[in-house]
Copies of this chain bind each other. A is one copy, B any other.
Amino acid sequence: MTDTIKRRGLMLVLSSPSGAGKTTLSRLLLEADPNIVMSVSATTRAKRPNEVDGKDYFFVTAEKFAAMASGDEFFEHATVFGNNYGTPKKPVMDALAEGRDVLFDIDWQGAQQLKEKARDDMVGIFILPPSHDELERRLHTRAQDSEEVVRQRMAKAADEIRHYPEYDYVIVNRDIDVAHAEVKAVLNAERARLSRQIGLSDFVSTLVGKD
């Protein structure tokens, strides 16, 4: 008998304040699971020498970006320091249809916009640091950081953290390996969700049907 169950991929959104370990978690997930791909944003900012078009970003002109925006080709887009950034829909929808999961490393505003456009496909995880002291320690990125700079970073982190109730799951990153295992558990569980298994009714028909 042929196994008729296919799986629709899911959009896994990781958000956290900077200093909570989100970047490390994303890297671990991508390394450990070839079925996960990272969402690549489009941007109008200039490509830096070490960046690869289509891997780090899709580098596009302002005209192209505006055309994509007016054509509703983005899940979400924003302007930061005069440059435009957006998440193109098509590569994500193609990956989901092929059963691949797409990882998004975005802030609460991006997550909110994504949720509006793709509620059924999206799973949101918020990563929290283990303590105030540890967060502050991680926000001291350089020895010469002034108290004022750290205070500003802390205020920005606090703004992000206040949005944790908008996520499906919350993981406190006390230990990176434990947090990684928890994110993988969420991914594996969400893959087993009824709604993501396409062809389940056909498979069940083969189970209960006559010989």
Query: A32 on the interface (CB 8 Å rule)?
Result: no
CB distance from A18 to the nearest CB of B (A): 13
**Chain A binding surface, main DSSP class:** helix
CB distance from A80 to the nearest CB of B (A): 23
List B contacts of A189 (CB < 8 A): 169, 182, 185-186, 188-190
> Which listed segment binds B: A44-52, A67-75, A114-122, A200-208?
A200-208
Given contacts A1-B131, A161-B208, A172-B203, 4 further A-B contacts (CB under 8 A): A129-B207, A135-B207, A168-B194, A189-B190
Interface residues of A (CB under 8 A from B): 1, 3, 5, 125, 128-129, 131-133, 135, 157-158, 161-162, 164-165, 167-172, 181-182, 184-186, 188-190, 192-194, 197, 200, 203-204, 206-209, 211
